Amino acid sequence: MKEISSINVSQFANAFLAGANNLESKKEWINELNVFPVPDGDTGTNMCMTIMSAAKAVSELEDPTMKTLAKAISSGSLRGARGNSGVILSQLFRGFSKVIGKYDAIDVDILCEAMQKSVETAYKAVMKPKEGTILTVARGAADKALEMVEVTDDLNYFIDEVIKEAEIVLAKTPDMLPVLKQAGVVDSGGQGLVCVLQGGYDYLLGKDVKLTIGDDDEKKKEVSNEVQYTYHADFVINLSKSFSNKNEQELRAFMESMGGRVRINWEGNEISVSIRTDLLGEVINKALELGVLTNIDIKNIQSEYEKTLRSESSKKAASEIAEATTSNTDNKSKEDNNAPKEPPKEMGFVSVSIGEGMNSIFTELGCDYIIEGGQTMNPSTDDVLSAIDNVNAKNVFVLPNNKNIILAANQAASLCDDKNVIVLPTKTIPQGITAIINFIPDQSVEENQSRMEEEIKNVKTGQVTYAVRDTVIDDKEISEGDYMGIGDAGILAVDKDMNKVFLDMIREMVDDSTAIVTIYYGDEVKEKDAVALGKQVEEDFDSLEVEVQAGGQPVYYYVASVE
């Protein structure tokens, strides 16, 4: 192994890109390490989207200096951060970048200093740091760096020892968190961090690593096979059944086996698909298994070959279609930005929500801007910032409504310099609804914040969904496909029968102080079935007031608010 004493800006940029691509290639494996088997925005996906936001910023730099490179990494990851693991990763990059940006090249001393700052910044960003997580792995690596800086000036040897220590600490995470030990896995966030470090190190060792971001190589391949297929099909699937990250990967694999130029964009209850294929019937039949097709556009591209070669816009057709689901929102934003603005009001609201019914509830209660997302797709820091910008108010309350979105919301608040942003720590949709119900416009920001934060403590939330993998949690054996009733502190019920799971979950949540149970049914549940379930709750608990409302949320068949 060749000794190196320093890394220049070009080498470090490439090492970062290699680390990002290594994480991207292993994201599904990292997702499988998640203890909770729910169909959500998993750790691997969130970390990958976070680092790819930074990698994109890095790849767009022309003739970078270490200062501009550091800024691209920090800003790109901060704004692209999704989920708790993504936010923590962005804070690690932020601290690291603060140090390296001051130098023209990186040696062992600077790398060690940057790692210390990285860990310090990340720990400060988390209100209650938990050991046995990505933070612990990062700190173990930083501690080893302090030891090795006294031993060697060779960066290769230094980094090799640091990564070995990170892997040792990662292997110990099940001993720090019993839930990891019971599930038989290491911490997924820590594993993601090790993947980033190993990818960067592979580049420095001269291994064959991917440095391009996105699918540039695939695009080049497709250009040379422009008329390989007969049909170019674009359509939108309106989902009629539950859909998970695993299902998305399976759909992508199937479509790629059917043809080329495959683009799949899953947002909420819709999947946009673009594909070139000779097996059009099989493609359509597969899509129909998932739901109803709309916006169907099918072309015979053989006859348009010459036009396709000449037209740059045709070459970009697939990516344009993949972005079509957001175009109306973008156009509306442009129109809103061009319109004369009224004087800002005193207070406004941003809420994370998903499902037509849920969104309507927040809108009717006075929410100014809805961020479509939640458990199935954690919005990024930049998504929250954009939403805040769209609210014409001096003070903006943000309702994350998910424990995995609170850190990103807090990060957005820290980056917003023209408005006072207050993030209410709502971990569920029912908490968010309770918060906004208790808002009183005539009172001060401080009075409203205090009251809303107090009221959300009185809300218990239960959610019924399905398991995406086999696991063991809280001594409960869970098989893929089982229904699960999940409370605020963990899984309350597991069974093959959805209604039984719901009723068992409610029994665990109701106590002597309970007065109201509100049931929000999801997009796959029929109204009559939800009403019947509500009547069963009334019969079982005759002293309670029970309400049933259409939530329209995907993935979670029922969401229950117990107050």
Q: What is the pLDDT of residue 563?
A: 93
Reduced to 3 states (helix: H, G, I; strand: E, B; else coil), residue 466 is: strand
| Cα–Cα distance, 362 to 376 (Å, whole number) | 19
Rounded-to-integer distance, Cα 388 and Cα 545, Å: 36
Looking at the DSSP assignment, which residues form a beta bridge with residue 516? 545
pLDDT given at position 543 = 87
Phi, psi angles (nearest 5°) of residue 310: -75, -30
Cα maximum dimension of the chain: 76
- Residue spans of the chain under pLDDT 50: 216-227, 303-336, 339
Comparing C-alpha atoms, which of 501, 499, 504, 538 is closest to residue 518?
A: 538
pLDDT attached to residue 268: 85
Segments of 386-448 assigned E as strands = 393-399, 420-423
d(C-alpha 115, C-alpha 146), whole Å: 9
The one-character DSSP state at 473 is E
* Positive/negative CA dihedral, 232, 238, 244, 247: negative
The Cα 134–Cα 74 span in angstroms is: 18
Taking the C-alpha atoms of residue 263 and residue 252, their distance in angstroms, rounded to an integer, is 8
Tell me which amino acid residue 297 is.
D
CA 387 – CA 96 distance, rounded (Å): 28
Return d(Cα 557, Cα 475) in angstroms, integer. 24
Unique residue bearing structure tokens 């009403």: 531
Per-residue confidence (pLDDT) for residue 333, from 0 to 100: 45
48, exposed or middle or buried, with CB in 10 Å at 0-12, 13-18, 19+? buried
Grouping H, G, I as helix, E, B as strand and the rest as coil, residue 116 is: helix
Looking at residue 439, the DSSP 8-state letter turns out to be -
Helix axes 66-80 and 406-415, enclosed angle (nearest 10): 130
